Structure 1
Amino acid sequence: MKLRIPKGYTPSTYEQLAELAGLPVSEARRCADEMAAAGIVSLIKHGDDPRIKRCEVCGYPFRDKTRPGNAKVCGDTCKTTRKTVQRAEQRKVKPARGVTVKPNKQIRYVWWLEYPYWVTEKWMLNHVGSYERPRDPDKLAYIIAAKERAERMGGRKKVSG
């Protein structure tokens, strides 16, 4: 999505400028008027200021206000467009760099059928083991005794209010 305007080319109408930049005509007119008022057009033609550059996205001339002087685009909109294109290119190149793609997990439980089932018993026991653990027989006796004690007392104490 790079749009480059040749160095010697000057659009003759605002419509041509708007078409090249991909902006509405009113916005192109405003930008052209600002450039003319700032004297940017003459600076571009003579080329004596290294901070006057052309935007890589829309081709507009702009003054690089960054401290190191390495700006490539004129503003936030063009910066977003450039980064979007750059990320898309990186996504295309990513597998070619040798980045390993994580394989999908092996299917262990077939849930989408009418009668779901585990593929192997081992996986079923591993899964169930994390939810249902057998209790110690002494602990079972303790739980049963606590329930009987609660029944003999008449249930839980009721708060009078």
Structure 2
Amino acid sequence: MYVGGGGQAAAVLDGKHWLKLAMTDDGAGGFGGMQRQADQDPAVQASLLPGSDDFWKVGEETVDGVRTTHYAGVVDVAEAAKKPAGKRPLAGERRTKVIEQYRELGVSELKLDLWVGPGDRTVKFRQRARATQGPLDLSIRFLDVNKPVTVQAPPASDTVDPEQKLKEASRRLG
């Protein structure tokens, strides 16, 4: 995973703008838990909203030029685990898995926002929570559907790998 910080990052990263972070389950700093969250299908998290007792329509909003209806809610993770998963077995399994992952992260309450546009397509999704290791705040914007995507890593000359820096420092210190 690459995290960019612009000029502020460059000021503390010897002129480099990007951090390169390993996202493994045994990675430093608990990034494995973030990886599991990043891999989740937002539709599964969003499916927790209608079952919540604390769910409402916020109103109409424009997101990235698209007219949307904004919904929000607070999901009690323990209560969500007690509710029926639905009629489709696969959806139920995925829902159970995501609830278990929130529990593993130490999340007891999940704040969800969903912006729905034309054709009932999700335009934006946001989840916020307090996890054992600190705050979780993840927003996803859906810019298009069924279009190819090209992702390019930043140039190595503009990245810092903290894990590599630690290994180098360890070798120098013996």
Where on the TM-score scale, by shorter chain, does this alignment land: which range? under 0.3
TM-score, reference length from structure 1: 0.25
Higher RCO (CA < 8 A, seq sep 6+): 2
Task: Choose 1 or 2 for highest CA Rg.
Answer: 1
Say which structure is richer in strand. 2
TM-score, reference length from structure 2: 0.24
